[in-house]
Structure 1
Amino acid sequence: MKKFILKAFIFLILVISVLSFILVKYGGYVDYFYNKFTSPAATSLILGDSRSLQGIQPKIINDYFKSAKLDTPILNYSFTLKQISYGKPYLESIKLKLDKTTKNGLFIISVHPFVLSDRSENNEEQNGIFFEEDMPPHNMKNVNSNPNYEYLYKNFDYFHFRGIIRKSSKTHKDGWLEETNLPNDTILLNTWKKNQIKLYSGFASAWKKSNIRLKSLEELCEYLEQYGQVKLVRLPIDKELLDIENKYWGNFNQDMSKISEKTNANFINFSLPSPKDKFSTYDGIHIDKFAGVYFTKALCDSISKSLDLKSKHK
């Protein structure tokens, strides 16, 4: 019996050692979110769903503002629409990830109608149940450990070990998800876009504007303003998808402007028509990594115009 226990213990140690090696070296390929929980507490953050996860590149922001008096580097702490909406669970996770010594942080919050909606199957407005509570990042207590065994234990289902071989996507240490192997097949890309149109049309018919989520966004802005400057950003998407959003929530921009007026968060709107292919998406929703460079630089230009480097946080 003692020999069996010893062998089992040695086997367990070997498994943990191998997994630790894989996660430390290849974690960005294995899981879209894992690297976000292995970095130190962050002084600046990019928040949102997959639009900002892929579309806003931290390295560009860090380089752009390297001479400014901001607490960088910035971490992309975005997830996907399946995991996040603005509400108490996301706020609590952000509090865990934020370095509380920050004084001049930069906080970029990606906003669009569907990340501020009540999903009919949950009805948060009536029962206060948040769909995201048992998913990352909300189910994590330890968000700054490398390797992160809590994530391995709680979110193993998100791991895709074939990603080590395929290397078609990678989440960098700064939290940015890079799609590295997008097809050039126009027919396939058009199919992806049609699928997104169908998906978001379904959201528009089943979901509804959430006053709770709007209030939570306002609370998030007020909380982050203690540590720096907050920017609400609506990212560009293709016209067909934008038409769905505008029909679903026609006064969305006005609602964001109201939150901007109540708080000190500037609202930067990139949803307005832009020159063709300036910020191209590969599926109607997500900016590809090449256009993402230009978009992030344009975002930095807009941020710099409203940046207060003589603020109380100095």
Structure 2
Amino acid sequence: MGKSLLKLFIFSVLPFSVICYAVFLTGKKTDDFYKRFISPQQNSLILGSSRAAGMNPAILDSILNRKFPEVKLYNYAFTWAHSPYGPKYLESIKKKVYTNSRNGIFIVTVEPTALMVEKNKPDSPEYYIENDKSVAKTSTVSSNPNLEYLFESYDYPITKELNKKLFPPKNQMAEVEILENGKYDVKVLKDFTKEQKLEINRTKMIQFREKVKGLKVSVNRINYLSSTIDFLKKHGKVIMVRLPINKVPYSIEDKYYSDFDNTMIKLSQEKEIQYINFNEFNNNYKTSDEVHLIPESMNRLSQELGKILIEY
């Protein structure tokens, strides 16, 4: 009997305990989106693509709380493929916002690709690129642990974080994790040479041009952005922001969606909200890959945006 119980413990209880601990570690530190789907409902959000994922809620809160003490921003921006404006992102946003929130702040970042669809497909939600990704597939966005996400969208072994703890990776280029406030945090450990960066970014811009070239403006996505703003306005103040990028990708976006800013200005006027295009300001924001701000520049932009919002 004793041996049977020991075997039961070894072959069932012990593995189950290891899995539970692995899930616990995943919820504590991961470079995956998992933490975004186990955090509680929020009263204020940063929305958009990976360009906004590094925006710093802590810096914004430190400024905004002087005037808006209830505001606690949470970064709920994913990637252009996971969270372009459409029915799936809107559905997820509605679940993430605390139902009784009325005095929140919502930073809605916009860019052309978030309002475009594949050129060779109909502009209909059933064909949208995000449909098979985690934002669309995860119906519960504030459950800890979130088994639905782990089974449906987690692309790694469940013991990934446990393995990293037991066997720390060697020669890492960077450490990446999602912070408690949703911020996508990157710490560079080893960097490329200047020449290597130039070549990598040149290749990325060729790929970026091909990507945008294969897209078309989506009337439906613009309508869903409009509906997203309508929903958020019920819960607080909304501001639309176009984040700064370098000249090459900006010119590519302008070529394939030349009317983008006029469309955003018109929409902001209709919704009676503010629209800010940081590309129109004289600045020396620096990017890591032409379109994503380095942490120091994103922190400075977060400060500037906080000052604008405090007067909004």
Q: Quick check: TM above 0.5?
A: yes
Please report how far the alpha carbon of residue 66 of structure 1 lies from its aligned counterpart in structure 2 after TM superposition. 1.4
Q: Structure 2: which amino acid aligns with 1:142?
A: T
In the alignment, what sits opposite 2:17?
14
In the alignment, what sits opposite 1:310?
none
In the alignment, what sits opposite 2:264?
256
SS of residue matched to 1:144? coil
In the alignment, what sits opposite 2:215?
207
What stretches of structure 1 of length at least 5 have no aligned partner?
A: 308-314
Question: What is the alpha-carbon distance in structure 1 between the residues aligned to residue 83 and residue 123 of structure 2?
Answer: 16
Question: What is the alpha-carbon distance in structure 2 between the residues aligned to residue 199 and residue 81 of structure 1?
Answer: 15
Question: What is the alpha-carbon distance in structure 1 between the residues aligned to residue 153 and residue 49 of structure 2?
Answer: 18
Please report how far the alpha carbon of residue 8 of structure 1 lies from its aligned counterpart in structure 2 after TM superposition. 4.8
In the alignment, what sits opposite 1:312?
none
Please report how far the alpha carbon of residue 5 of structure 1 lies from its aligned counterpart in structure 2 after TM superposition. 7.4
Identical residues among aligned pairs (%):
27
What stretches of structure 2 of length at least 5 have no aligned partner?
A: none
Question: What is the alpha-carbon distance in structure 2 between the residues aligned to residue 163 and residue 200 of structure 1?
Answer: 33
Question: What is the alpha-carbon distance in structure 2 between the residues aligned to residue 225 and residue 188 of structure 1?
Answer: 45
In the alignment, what sits opposite 2:305?
299
Describe how 1:108-147 pairs up with structure 2 within 5 A. 108-120=107-119, 123-126=121-124, 128-147=126-145
TM-score by length of 1: 0.87
SS of residue matched to 1:20? helix
SS of residue matched to 2:288? coil
Larger radius of gyration: 2
For the aligned residue pairs, the C-alpha RMSD in angstroms reads: 2.2
In the alignment, what sits opposite 2:152?
154
TM-score by length of 2: 0.88
User: Alignment partner for residue 229 of structure 2, among 182, 202, 221?
Assistant: 221
**Contact map agreement 1:50 1:79 (CA 8 A) in 2:** yes
- Aligned length in residues: 298
Change over 3 Å in CA distance of 1:227–1:127 after alignment to 2: closer
Question: What is the alpha-carbon distance in structure 2 between the residues aligned to residue 294 and residue 127 of structure 1?
Answer: 36
Question: What is the alpha-carbon distance in structure 2 between the residues aligned to residue 128 and residue 10 of structure 1?
Answer: 43
- 2:100 counterpart of 1:97: no
Give 4+ residue runs of structure 1 displaced > 3 Å after superposition: 2-9, 158-167
- 2:27 counterpart of 1:24: yes
**Contact map agreement 1:268 1:302 (CA 8 A) in 2:** no
Change over 3 Å in CA distance of 1:127–1:235 after alignment to 2: closer
In the alignment, what sits opposite 1:87?
86
Please report how far the alpha carbon of residue 137 of structure 1 lies from its aligned counterpart in structure 2 after TM superposition. 1.6
**Contact map agreement 2:86 2:125 (CA 8 A) in 1:** no
Question: What is the alpha-carbon distance in structure 2 between the residues aligned to residue 226 and residue 170 of structure 1?
Answer: 32
Change over 3 Å in CA distance of 1:120–1:9 after alignment to 2: farther
Change over 3 Å in CA distance of 1:163–1:247 after alignment to 2: farther
In the alignment, what sits opposite 1:62?
61
- 2:290 counterpart of 1:287: no
Question: What is the alpha-carbon distance in structure 1 between the residues aligned to residue 282 and residue 156 of structure 2?
Answer: 36
Q: Structure 1: which amino acid aligns with 2:178?
A: T
Kindly provide the CA deviation profile for residues 202-254 of structure 1, in whole angstroms up to 9, marking residues without a partner as x.
12221001101011101100111000011110000001111101111111110
Of 76-85 and 62-71, more deviation after overlay is shown by 62-71
